[in-house]
Amino acid sequence: MLRLLSIAELTGRLARRESSAREVLQACFDQIAQVDGTVRAFVSYDVADAMAQADEADRLLAAGMTHAEKPLLGVPVALKDVLCHRGQPCTCSSKILKGFVSPYDATVVSRLQAAGAVVFGRLNMDEFAMGSSTENSALWTTTNPWDPARIPGGSSGGCAASVASNECFASLGSDTGGSIRQPAALCGVVGLKPTYGLVSRYGLVAFASSLDQIGPFTKTVEDSARMLGVIAGHDPRDSSSVPQAVPDYARALGRDLKGLRIGLVKEFQIGGVDPAVDAAVRAAVRQLESLGAEPVEVSLPHSEYAAATYYIIAPAEASANLARFDGIRYGLRVDGRDPAELNSRTRGAGFGPEVKRRVILGTYVLSSGYYDAYYLRAQKVRTLIRNDFLKAFEQVDAIVSPTTPTPAFRIGEKADDPLQMYLSDIFTISCNLAGNCGISVPCGFTDASSAAPRLPIGLQILGKPFGEETLLRIAHAYEQSTGWHREKAPLA
């Protein structure tokens, strides 16, 4: 069955001309028709445009083009609805962008297409990427392919659910405080947040510009390396993107872990971690040890302040970034007697409650009199958090932890309690504050019970800035020695 293949397997098949790109894309659409009524990952897709891309891939394959030249030739990839794709709607799962059509391609989209990918659909998310469950989407809540009564995680919930249910072969999402790694963990797929500055954000609708990164959701670590190789690299159109050469990530895979030191964070031994998650991560550490890695305890003394720091800095930046949605330039407009009334009516009608909460919070911490007490202080704590990581990485090559404290929770369970929801990101947030890279790989399952079916658990591995090769090497060695990634969701 085509849809079950990894990118590595699929490109082999396409290269041998055993399947056409059109058949592969059709397999995605068939699966969407089969399961997306339940999963609800896709916000929109353009069948004619996608088929034209697939036909072009088939034409190139017939003309002898190889995957050495175009590594994703014929591979269907879907996008979080926050990335601009020319001529396609971009809603950020918000009512305020109703009717907006992207006038240009994000750099990651141009790079996918230059690599031959068939970029074909848009995936649900928490509104403007604020949330951990997709319940903040103004459209609907995406469900978890392992249990449709549960959330897929967020904010890139549609990205994780679409890959876990084999509706596409990979997707691109964004991670500001965990939005790639957390949903990947809860849906049992691989999610990579690259180092800040490695991947261009040109054409990504900004949430918190000092934290946002784009990264891939894939079925395997090898596929993650392939996707990263395509999207990484300097872009003069994003001033935060770093001008340095992109290594061949796939070449870093397949080595053992002898001589590597793996950090276990003293301060991450907190209460509130689900016993099944704790047990799976402990077993993963033993597995890494058996592969030759040496576990070492490290300290990140300021990590207890990470969530508080994040929930000042991210809303502050969001309040500035979202000022552009003024009812005049983009999407929705609710008329008023004057521009000020038009602006406030449009924003009142167009933004959902979580976005309003963040804009109000962000405006408050930036306002005169409070700036020094909150925003400036949070920036100082951020520096302490970054320094903690730099120190820890003098002792170890990577740090491991659970990706999330619990497996996927029930839809509605935390929807009315923002503080509980914010705690979903307790292990992922500090990586964004520090600007490091991180990945979540499947590391086991909860036991099925009368209360819940078996649910996936994610292992988070954090790496040094621009340490993606080592990160992927560890993740790959772990994945290949355990095989958790081969387990399929009921809706796969």
Q: Which residues are catalytic?
A: 80, 155, 179
Nearer to ligand GLN, 7 or 433 (CB): 433
259: region left, alpha or beta (phi > 0 left; psi from -120 to 50 alpha): left
Q: Considering only residues 24, 35, 314, 459, which one is a binding residue for ligand GLN as defined by CB under 6 A?
A: 314
Q: Considering only residues 145, 178, 183, 435, which one is a binding residue for ligand GLN as defined by CB under 6 A?
A: 178
Q: Considering only residues 58, 127, 167, 175, which one is a binding residue for ligand GLN as defined by CB under 6 A?
A: 175
Q: What is the DSSP string of 67-136?
A: TTTSTTTT-EEEEETTB--TTSB--TT-GGGTT-B-SS--HHHHHHHHTT-EEEEEE--SGGG--SSSTT
Integer Cα distance of 374 and 376 in angstroms: 6
Nearer to ligand GLN, 185 or 314 (CB): 314
Find out whether 294 and 261 touch, Cβ atoms under 8 Å: yes
Candidate ranges 22-30, 53-61, 143-151, 176-184; the one touching ligand GLN (CB under 6 A): 176-184
Nearer to ligand GLN, 132 or 143 (CB): 132
Find out whether 354 and 127 touch, Cβ atoms under 8 Å: yes
Q: How far is the CB of 190 from ligand GLN (least distance, A)?
A: 17
Q: How far is the CB of 128 from ligand GLN (least distance, A)?
A: 8
| SS3 (DSSP) at 380 | helix
Q: How far is the CB of 179 from ligand GLN (least distance, A)?
A: 3
Query: Taking CB under 6 A as the rule, does residue 129 contact ligand GLN?
Result: yes
- 81: which residues sit within 8 A by CB, 6+ positions away? 43, 44, 90, 91, 92, 93, 122, 123, 124, 125, 158
Nearer to ligand GLN, 166 or 171 (CB): 171
Q: Considering only residues 135, 425, 468, 469, which one is a binding residue for ligand GLN as defined by CB under 6 A?
A: 425
Q: Does an H or E element contain 261, and which?
A: strand 261-265
Query: Taking CB under 6 A as the rule, does residue 343 contact ligand GLN?
Result: no
List 398's β-bridge partners, or say none: 262, 463
Integer Cα distance of 324 and 25 in angstroms: 36
- 149: which residues sit within 8 A by CB, 6+ positions away? 143, 410, 411
Q: Considering only residues 31, 93, 137, 155, which one is a binding residue for ligand GLN as defined by CB under 6 A?
A: 155
Mark 379-418 with x for binding to ligand GLN (rule: CB under 6 A) and - for no binding.
----------------------------------------
Candidate ranges 41-49, 70-78, 113-121, 124-132; the one touching ligand GLN (CB under 6 A): 124-132
Q: How far is the CB of 404 from ligand GLN (least distance, A)?
A: 10
Q: Considering only residues 53, 132, 224, 404, which one is a binding residue for ligand GLN as defined by CB under 6 A?
A: 132
Q: Considering only residues 74, 131, 157, 197, which one is a binding residue for ligand GLN as defined by CB under 6 A?
A: 131
Q: β-strand 456-463 against 294-298: which pairing, if any?
A: unpaired
Nearer to ligand GLN, 381 or 431 (CB): 431
Candidate ranges 108-116, 126-134, 319-327, 390-398; the one touching ligand GLN (CB under 6 A): 126-134
The residue sitting closest to ligand GLN, measured at its beta carbon, is: 179
Candidate ranges 123-131, 233-241, 242-250, 450-458; the one touching ligand GLN (CB under 6 A): 123-131
Integer Cα distance of 203 and 221 in angstroms: 26
Residue 101 dihedral angles phi and psi, to the nearest 5°: -120, 130
Integer Cα distance of 59 and 62 in angstroms: 5
Find out whether 193 and 468 touch, Cβ atoms under 8 Å: no
Integer Cα distance of 474 and 30 in angstroms: 35
Query: Taking CB under 6 A as the rule, does residue 81 contact ligand GLN?
Result: no
Q: Considering only residues 11, 176, 200, 321, which one is a binding residue for ligand GLN as defined by CB under 6 A?
A: 176
Burial tier of 287 (Cβ tally within 10 Å: 0-12, 13-18, 19+): middle
As a residue count, the chain comes to: 492
Nearer to ligand GLN, 247 or 418 (CB): 418
Residue 264 dihedral angles phi and psi, to the nearest 5°: -115, 125
Q: How far is the CB of 323 from ligand GLN (least distance, A)?
A: 18
Integer Cα distance of 389 and 139 in angstroms: 38
Q: Tokens for 176, please give them.
A: 């500001």
Candidate ranges 48-56, 101-109, 130-138, 370-378; the one touching ligand GLN (CB under 6 A): 130-138
Candidate ranges 96-104, 169-177, 268-276, 295-303; the one touching ligand GLN (CB under 6 A): 169-177
Query: Taking CB under 6 A as the rule, does residue 179 contact ligand GLN?
Result: yes
Find out whether 280 and 444 touch, Cβ atoms under 8 Å: yes
- Total residues contacting ligand GLN by CB under 6 A comes to 13
Nearer to ligand GLN, 116 or 315 (CB): 315
Q: Considering only residues 74, 177, 188, 458, which one is a binding residue for ligand GLN as defined by CB under 6 A?
A: 177
Residue ranges that bind ligand GLN, judged by CB under 6 A: 129-132, 155, 175-179, 207, 314, 425
